[in-house]
């Protein structure tokens, strides 16, 4: 397919969501191709796995730049060089400047491990347990200036089970994240989900349904997306 959207992924860490997007994009009929992965810190070990999969990688360490604006400009230059048409934040743990967000408005999405607007920020799983919620999950949203905020593209819900630890819950959510992000990127890349007036508008052709939002009903329930190599992803699960 030659109309595939050119997507760059920004990471700061493990990169398992990045892996999920790379795996999904390996499918012939997936509407996006991954043209590069950029990391802001040498701690981002996902960069090596992207390199191993033949994806162009770039390290743009934030400590090499005097301020956030200069760092974002450097990232912007790499995105241009890669010919990126869309950006996916996948565990990119740094706030972006308003100028950068504005430049990529409607073309940049993020995944967050909670059912937003609940639990923005860090430690979402232990906070969900402390709050006593019975359902938790993940959200993919268009990026705005506020942290973990912006028009929602898709969400996945998983149950909170008796005796859950934050790690057990995180693993359940992460599994859902991998499938969710691949589906959400496909929707945005196909133009089935787009921002209008600060909200996400979905086209009639979007095949997103309620059954897509509720999965992993049991911890080991199979998650199936034809193009996703779950066995390969499993080793990233904590």
Question: Which residues here bind ligand GAR, judged by CB under 6 A?
Answer: 11, 13-17, 46, 90-91, 111-113, 148, 174, 177, 236
Query: Which residue, 31 or 137, is less far from ligand GAR as judged by CB?
Result: 137
Radius of gyration of the chain (CA): 17
| Minimum gap (Å) between residue 162 Cβ and ligand GAR | 23
Through-space distance between the first and last CA atoms of the chain, rounded to whole angstroms: 35
| Minimum gap (Å) between residue 2 Cβ and ligand GAR | 29
Neighbours of 233 (CB within 10 A): 19
| Minimum gap (Å) between residue 142 Cβ and ligand GAR | 14
Q: How far apart are CA 11 and CA 126, in angstroms?
A: 23
| Minimum gap (Å) between residue 209 Cβ and ligand GAR | 23
Instruction: Give me the catalytic one of 112, 136, 141, 178.
Output: 112
Q: Is residue 125 annotated as a catalytic residue, yes or no? A: no
Query: Which residue, 42 or 83, is less far from ligand GAR as judged by CB?
Result: 42
Query: Which residue, 15 or 151, is less far from ligand GAR as judged by CB?
Result: 15
The residue of the chain with the least Cβ separation from ligand GAR equals: 91
Neighbours of 168 (CB within 10 A): 16
Query: Which residue, 29 or 94, is less far from ligand GAR as judged by CB?
Result: 94
Q: Verify cis geometry, omega within 30 degrees of 0, for the bond prior to 117.
A: yes
Report the run of H or E that residue 34 belongs to, with start and end. strand 32-39
Q: Where are the beta strands (DSSP E) in 85-207?
A: 86-89, 108-112, 135-142, 152-159, 193-196, 199-202
Residues recognised as catalytic: 112
């Amino acid at each position: 397919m030659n109309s595939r959207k050119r997507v760059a992924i920004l990471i700061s860490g493990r990169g398992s969501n990045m892996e999920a997007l790379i795996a999904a994009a390996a499918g012939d009929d997936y509407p996006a191709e991954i043209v590069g992965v950029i990391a802001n810190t040498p701690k981002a070990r996902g960069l090596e796995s992207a390199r191993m999969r033949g994806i162009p990688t770039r390290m743009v360490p934030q400590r090499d730049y005097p301020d956030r604006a200069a760092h974002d400009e450097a990232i912007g230059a790499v995105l241009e060089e890669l010919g990126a048409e869309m950006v996916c934040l996948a565990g990119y743990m740094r706030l972006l400047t308003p100028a950068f967000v504005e430049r990529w408005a409607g073309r940049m999405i993020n995944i967050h491990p909670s059912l937003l607007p609940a639990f923005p920020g860090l430690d979402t799983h232990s906070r969900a347990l402390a709050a006593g919620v019975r359902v938790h999950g993940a959200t993919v949203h268009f990026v705005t200036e506020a942290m973990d905020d912006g028009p929602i593209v898709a969400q996945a819900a998983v149950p909170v089970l008796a005796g859950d630890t934050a790690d057990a819950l995180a693993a359940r959510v992460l599994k859902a994240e991998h499938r969710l992000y691949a589906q959400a990127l496909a929707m945005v890349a196909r133009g089935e989900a787009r921002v209008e007036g600060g909200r996400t508008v979905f086209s009639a052709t979007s095949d997103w349904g309620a059954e897509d939002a509720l999965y992993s009903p049991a911890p080991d329930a199979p998650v199936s997306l034809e193009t996703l190599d779950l066995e390969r992803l499993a080793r990233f699960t904590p």
